[in-house]
Structure 1
């Protein structure tokens, strides 16, 4: 089967044949693009997210491209939801060797006005859920010497005004990745943090609207750009571990 350019990025066919991947946040944006690219490179993929209708459309796209991608709608902040996801992944795909954390939420506001409910929401989705899901799948990933990819944000490097809550969860997520990498050592799964800057997603469009900016998606990175980087990391020989990748639009966007 010829590798279809599902996201406009080509990869040699079959490079990931035999790999089983779970991708969170696959309803839209970066996670959606990552799920398609991994499947198109030969991996068997279980894509998860909250939006069942969007996931159904993703499944139809994958079916048209004749790639092995299944979908599972769940709430990963819920313990039962995570357990059902893991059970389904193992039942349908076997042992998992790739875990991509792409789910995320964003709230902004100055500290004088920011909602604690928003802080709790971002903590639950951006930090606690990936931590807990990694715990559940770590036995698989260790046995398969797999890959754990945390899709972070450049806000995980330095915090901008009025996004302290969001940036705090992203700084913490990077700390978890760094700590986990040290715990696992050279005989464990590889751990990579990817920190994209402004990317043309529905979430980013809402951010632009909140900031009163004109929306120009062509000036930003595309979800497919981040997906291509994830694919490159996973396809690297086992002798190589990439730890951190920072991506920014070539057109400078503040």
Structure 2
């Protein structure tokens, strides 16, 4: 039985991963922003364990997790949580930059740092669910794309540093996926949201599990998933 820690399991890709991993009998921990949300997730996924830590305030993650029981060994750390605020660079205030970088980049870096002892012990796997915006930046996507370009750099550096010790690192780059975040993006773009046009969260979760389940003689370092319609 493997042990996994997932961020962003409240909906979308993260929720599908939590469901599939618990269904196959693995031990699943979910990181959530507050105690109320943790209780909601335990009700939804009765077999999971929860940790409380706010990704929007990465400087406090060490203190928060230090006051809670954590998994002794960790087979995977799955970074799925994220946020987006669209807007031209000329109209994006520093608050939006700070919030986006905190949730999408600094918090994953800090959480990875805090979990590395457990990951090293298990020769575990870190998966960053990035975005197509981590490969190409477009007008209106400056702060989000910058955070995702940075997340790619974080993954590449981590892989180079931890490879000799057996820790695997994978970045998954989904295209537009039918999640609550995508619905928000369409509102910000002023366009109609049709989830049938985009990738199902289940398909991205399958890509993540494919990387996790690959035999130890190989490693999927990067995986791009695009809409098939």
Normalization by structure 2: what TM-score? 0.92
Residue pairs, 1:1-254, within 5 angstroms: 17=1, 19-50=2-33, 55-63=38-46, 68-76=47-55, 77-85=57-65, 88=68, 90=70, 93-251=71-229
CA contact (8 A) 2:7 2:79 kept: yes
CA contact (8 A) 2:58 2:102 kept: no
Distance 1:23 1:220, change over 3 A: same
Number of paired residues? 228
Q: Give the alignment's Cα RMSD to 1 decimal.
A: 1.8
Distance 1:53 1:249, change over 3 A: farther
Question: What is the Cα deviation at residue 20 of structure 1?
Answer: 1.2
Alpha-carbon distance between aligned partners in 1 of 2:34 and 2:185, rounded to the nearest angstrom: 20
Alpha-carbon distance between aligned partners in 2 of 1:49 and 1:24, rounded to the nearest angstrom: 7
Alpha-carbon distance between aligned partners in 2 of 1:130 and 1:223, rounded to the nearest angstrom: 21
CA contact (8 A) 1:27 1:50 kept: no
CA contact (8 A) 2:8 2:82 kept: yes
Q: Which runs of 5+ in 2 are unaligned?
A: none
Q: Secondary structure at the match of 2:45?
A: helix
Alpha-carbon distance between aligned partners in 2 of 1:79 and 1:245, rounded to the nearest angstrom: 30
